[in-house]
Amino acid sequence: MTDQALYDKEIEYIFKQFPSYQKVGKVAYKPGIETMKEFDKVLGYPHKKFLSIHIAGTNGKGSVSHMLAAVLQKTGAKVGLYTSPHLADFRERIKVNGEMIDKDSVLDFLTTWKPYMLDKKPSFFEITTAMAFDYFAKQGVDIAVIETGLGGRLDSTNVITPLLSIITNIALDHCEHLGFTLGEIAREKAGIIKPGIPVVVGEALPSTKYIFEQFARENSSRLVFAQESLFREILASDYELDLKGDYQTHNIRTVLTSLSLLSENNKFMKVVERGWSDSNIRLALKTAAATTGLRGRWEYLSHDPPVICDTGHNANGLRIVFSQLRRQKANRLFLILGFVAEKDLEKILGLFPKQAYYYFTQAKIDRALDATALAKRALSQGFEGEIKTSVEQAIKDYKNVYKDGDLLFIGGSTFIVAEAIEFFEKNRNFFAN
């Protein structure tokens, strides 16, 4: 039985001793993979003990990762899934067949390797990556879906040699680390392309397409653009998905193109051949979020009254999310919004729905943009709203003004969504009381 107090102590310790980008931002960013290579070596190269699929991109990589993992699991394969960031529980990052890594395994890894970590000073993300690879190897997974962190070329996960590399798309985000043009960011993401390993690109622009073509050519890698594949005309509505955002149209094309390429790989087919069928693929996609535990993608936290949340947090993602939001039928639209401090508001403010009332707030993290500063900027642009001290307070105050026909959206950052999900999990009948 897990010693909960010791577990909590060790989790708190790694968050403080090895700060995560999720919590504190750029001061925790550590480019380069030499430390990860060394950690991987002392662990006995665990990533070599299972097959893998590697996924990078600005937006959509979480959805693509979870959909692929759901499909692979449905075939009967034992599937590892490594993603970031987490919403509520650190263990969300590391899953096998949809189940989070158990606390005993987390505790064992952290205590066993603490002396090494104190000596070598790996980053938080390097620690979690090493933990994931070690856990997947010990669990005997057949194949793991591995999502990068911020970039690609210098990402801790880039020690693997996958069956397939996937780059979902390129947009301006985390520019201080990856570059201030789409081309510069594309070069960083394209760094996951390996010699002789096929690559799927979900979405490409003229300013990025030639870069992927260059990297693929230099690595003798087969390159397929989902926009030009057999699945280019596919819409999200062509498949019954439990992931409902408009952006899933892009993601489903990427997933189907990736599965098509993987089906040509003998190693892959040996793993999935027991349950490889169109019907299983469709069923897996229909239940992907439920199977893998994915949260926060155009998710209804309440249906009566309607409350929707979404983790879209950069201009590219929010453009699609807010476009979909504008098409919802509502007498009045309310938004609870908060962002991280480094977010470029100039690129985002113009996307906000004008006909709406805003509760400007901030998440309980050091990276949060001050709600007063956010409100000042938004109100100066003609938006209507007020400041709320927390996500919880904003939800409670919305309840006091809600009328039939109103709609509430919660988002702006992963952390705002995480706090909203936590609130509704603890208060399941909130609007009924």
Residue 418: half-sphere exposure toward Cβ, Cα within 13 Å = 19
Is residue 81 within 8 A of residue 144, CB to CB? The reply is yes
Q: Angle 280-283-287 (CA atoms, 0-180°, nearest 5)?
A: 135
Element (H, E) at 10: helix 4-17
Domain containing 231 equals 4-292
Residues 72 and 220 in one domain: yes
CA–CA distance, 78 with 139 (Å, rounded to integer) = 9
Residues 308 and 235 in one domain: no
Residues 259 and 390 in one domain: no
Residues 306 and 199 in one domain: no
Report pLDDT for 313.
81
Residues 219 and 120 in one domain: yes
Report pLDDT for 48.
98
- Mean pLDDT of successive 10-residue segments in the chain (433 residues)? 82 74 48 89 98 94 96 98 92 97 96 94 92 98 94 90 95 52 86 97 91 96 95 91 93 97 98 96 97 95 96 88 95 96 84 95 92 95 96 98 97 95 94 82
CA–CA distance, 31 with 1 (Å, rounded to integer) = 37
Is residue 149 within 8 A of residue 87, CB to CB? The reply is no
Of 257, 272, 292, which residue sits at a domain end? 292
Residues 248 and 308 in one domain: no
Residues 132 and 243 in one domain: yes
Residues 132 and 188 in one domain: yes
Q: Which residue has the tokens 């959206």?
A: 409
Considering the entire predicted model, what is its pTM?
0.92
CATH number (domain holding residue 329):
3.90.190.20
Residues 215 and 342 in one domain: no
Of 245, 265, 292, which residue sits at a domain end? 292
Counting the structural domains of the chain, the total is 2
Residues 371 and 331 in one domain: yes
CA–CA distance, 143 with 254 (Å, rounded to integer) = 19
Q: Is cis: bond before 305, omega within 30 of 0? A: yes
Which one-letter DSSP state was computed for residue 242? S
Residues 277 and 388 in one domain: no
Report pLDDT for 43.
98
Q: Which of 162, 105, 98, 161 is nearest to 128 (CA)?
A: 105
CA–CA distance, 261 with 389 (Å, rounded to integer) = 49
Is residue 93 within 8 A of residue 31, CB to CB? The reply is no
CATH number (domain holding residue 209):
3.40.1190.10
CA–CA distance, 229 with 248 (Å, rounded to integer) = 16
Handedness of CA 128, 129, 132, 133 (dihedral sign): negative
Q: Which residue has the tokens 């509505």?
A: 237
Report pLDDT for 216.
96
Alpha helices by DSSP H, listed for 18-163, are 21-24, 34-42, 61-74, 103-112, 114-120, 124-139
Residues 202 and 332 in one domain: no
Q: Find the Cα–Cα–Cα–Cα dihedral 389, 391, 397, 401, rounded to 10°.
A: 130
Tokens of 305: 């009254």
Element (H, E) at 187: helix 182-189
CA–CA distance, 365 with 165 (Å, rounded to integer) = 33
Of 292, 316, 347, which residue sits at a domain end? 292
